[in-house]
A and B are shown apart, each in its own frame.
Chain A
Amino acid sequence: MNQEQILACGDELYQAMVKRETLRPFTERFDDITIEDAYHISLRMVERRVAAGERIIGKKIGVTSKAVQNMLNVHQPDFGYLTDQMAFNQGEEMPISERLIQPKAEGEIAFILKKDLMGPGITNADVLAATECVMPCFEIVDSRIENWQIKIQDTVADNASCGLFVLGDQAVDPRKVDLATCGMVVEKNGQIISTGAGAAALGSPVNCVAWLANTLGSFGIGLKAGEVILSGSLVPLEPVQAGDFMSVSIGGIGNASVRFV
């Protein structure tokens, strides 16, 4: 794709997000779209958000489960940017009917960094040493692509299908919890709908953050102290609508809950 096309696609995505409209998949419109093109498109979309006054506060890692990797036929995760306008607090009402198009909820572990991480060469030990705390989190993903008909280039371009997120009210030292075996229980409207454990994301959420640091490092970008990193879903995605209530409990870490309006 040429630079002009990339900018145009990023602008289309930004408009689609603002107007809550969906787009035809880019992979149907551009035969030659590469994953690298897609990251440039996502960067343009995020630049538009920043130009409109949003502030980047962290990153999210997506496509971390084997099920989703098989669905998209890729064997690596992807990432997107988090802005201050995406963040909600524990138990707060989340206006998905005003903000999102076709939302789905996923339970995750969030990392809050206390030191910069600059790849390549970042190990799990570096990630743990740079982590201030881990927190329970719901990410509400959304797609600006019609009916979630995404290939990997479509979701990468669309800021890794990022929507909104909620952090719980507990923060735990990562040295105090086994992040690979900690269990997750997700409830929707009072019913347990799924369980999982940390290892569902690339074997460990720590692996996910190390992957992100190393991947960004190869482009000369670092993770910054104070950033929030959403490390990837541990359970299947759950479609949600206004009126739903969801909560997630993570063994040794805590709970997060969200009311959708």
Chain B
Amino acid sequence: MADSQNNTNQENQVNNLTQQQIEELAIHCENAELEAYEITKITDDFPQMTYKDAFDIQWEARRRKEARGTKIVGMKMGLTSWAKMAQMGVEHPCYGYLADYFSVPEGGDIKTDELIHPKIEAEIAFVTKAPLKGPGVHIGDVLRATDFIVPAVEVIDSRYKDFKFDLKSVIADNSSSTRFITGGCMAQVDEVDLKTLGVVMEINGEIVATGAGAAVLGHPAASVAMLANMMGERGEEIPAGTFIMTGGITAAVTVNKGDNINVRYQGLGSISARFV
């Protein structure tokens, strides 16, 4: 464990890919996202890739979006449950960014044809009121810096064939981010018990998953702390006013065109949408 941690730390610092390769892979991954087609995981062709390479690819794709006038509206954490990490065969959570066009209004339509093989997850989102910068950020820092929490549904859509990937490939693919829906009911962090906050996910009126906040790294605020610490390794901070989705409380459930989804949150209302 200590050895793999050291390896991870080293791999956070060094590049094995050239700047040109990073730019090409950013275009490769982003085009698959924009045009909704599958690609094979990029570590197949670049086995020497480091975690720094993977995050550089993600940040390059983000820079390209911003250069075209797309606004970055938040961050997301992925692979935050022990079950999900085991299911995907990865050993650590990851993060991604949220672009303005990812946002779908509550009760709105999600255009299934713009996606490859979407799945939905029920999440708790935080909105910050003070900056958070790692290393060393803990749950107490996060709760103090939180303006409010809101429920959210994330639509994930790995660009990798059959949702099969390793951690480096998924990081380069913006952690499978694609769409999100925010609920209209907010709460202060001292008004809710985030660990036992329950969620119930329904597709076409049938209950398909249930869970509680502790499924996210023991407590959803721990996920925000981890985001601050991971971004801190790159010298980046989470600015005040950032919207952060903390990771799936439920398993990710496959959705199809024509499905109606409804997710209920204990004390925080519900979120619905349709896949058209």
Residues of A within 8 A of B (CB): 66, 178, 180-185, 192, 195-200, 203, 234, 249-252
Docked-complex contact B197 and A251, CB < 8 angstroms: yes
CB distance from B152 to the nearest CB of A (A): 16
**A183-B218 in contact given A200-B207, A203-B207, A251-B196 (Cβ < 8 Å):** no
- Within 76-106 of B, Cβ neighbours of A (below 8 Å) are at 82
Bound-state CA distance A192–B193 (Å) is 16
**Among B193, B195, B200, contact of A197 (Cβ-Cβ < 8 Å):** B200
Asked if B249 CB lies within 8 Å of chain A CBs, one says yes
Most buried by B among A178, A196, A249: A196
- Which chain B residue shows the least CB distance to A180? B200
- Which chain A residue shows the least CB distance to B214? A185
Asked if B265 CB lies within 8 Å of chain A CBs, one says yes
Q: State the majority secondary structure of interface residues on A.
A: mixed
Contacts of A66 in B (CB 8 A): 207
Docked-complex contact A196 and B212, CB < 8 angstroms: yes
Residues of B within 8 A of A (CB): 82, 193, 195-200, 207, 210-215, 218, 249, 264-267
- Which chain A residue shows the least CB distance to B206? A66
The 9 sampled A-B contact pairs (Cβ below 8 Å) are A180-B200, A181-B199, A183-B199, A183-B211, A195-B210, A195-B213, A197-B200, A249-B196, A252-B266
**Among B196, B211, B265, contact of A250 (Cβ-Cβ < 8 Å):** B196
Docked-complex contact A195 and B215, CB < 8 angstroms: yes
Contacts of B211 in A (CB 8 A): 183, 195-197
Q: State the majority secondary structure of interface residues on B.
A: mixed
Bound-state CA distance A199–B214 (Å) is 17
CB distance from B115 to the nearest CB of A (A): 27
Contacts of B195 in A (CB 8 A): 185, 249
Contacts of B267 in A (CB 8 A): 178, 181, 252
Docked-complex contact A181 and B196, CB < 8 angstroms: no
Contacts of B199 in A (CB 8 A): 181, 183, 197
Most buried by B among A184, A192, A197, A251: A197
Docked-complex contact A184 and B218, CB < 8 angstroms: no
CB distance from B219 to the nearest CB of A (A): 10
Docked-complex contact B200 and A251, CB < 8 angstroms: no
Most buried by B among A178, A180, A249, A251: A251
Bound-state CA distance A181–B210 (Å) is 8
Docked-complex contact A178 and B196, CB < 8 angstroms: no
**A181-B193 in contact given A197-B199, A199-B210 (Cβ < 8 Å):** no
Most buried by B among A182, A183, A234: A183
**Among B82, B214, B266, contact of A181 (Cβ-Cβ < 8 Å):** B266
**A199-B212 in contact given A178-B266, A178-B267, A182-B266 (Cβ < 8 Å):** no
Most buried by A among B82, B195, B196, B197: B196
Contacts of B212 in A (CB 8 A): 183-185, 195-197, 251
- Which chain B residue shows the least CB distance to A252? B266
Contacts of A183 in B (CB 8 A): 196-199, 211-214, 266
Docked-complex contact B218 and A182, CB < 8 angstroms: no
Contacts of A200 in B (CB 8 A): 207, 210
Bound-state CA distance A32–B197 (Å) is 46
Contacts of A184 in B (CB 8 A): 196, 198, 212
Docked-complex contact A182 and B207, CB < 8 angstroms: no
CB distance from B69 to the nearest CB of A (A): 40
CB distance from A198 to the nearest CB of B (A): 7
Docked-complex contact A182 and B214, CB < 8 angstroms: no
Bound-state CA distance A181–B154 (Å) is 19
**A234-B210 in contact given A181-B200, A181-B264, A251-B198 (Cβ < 8 Å):** yes
Contacts of B213 in A (CB 8 A): 183, 185, 195
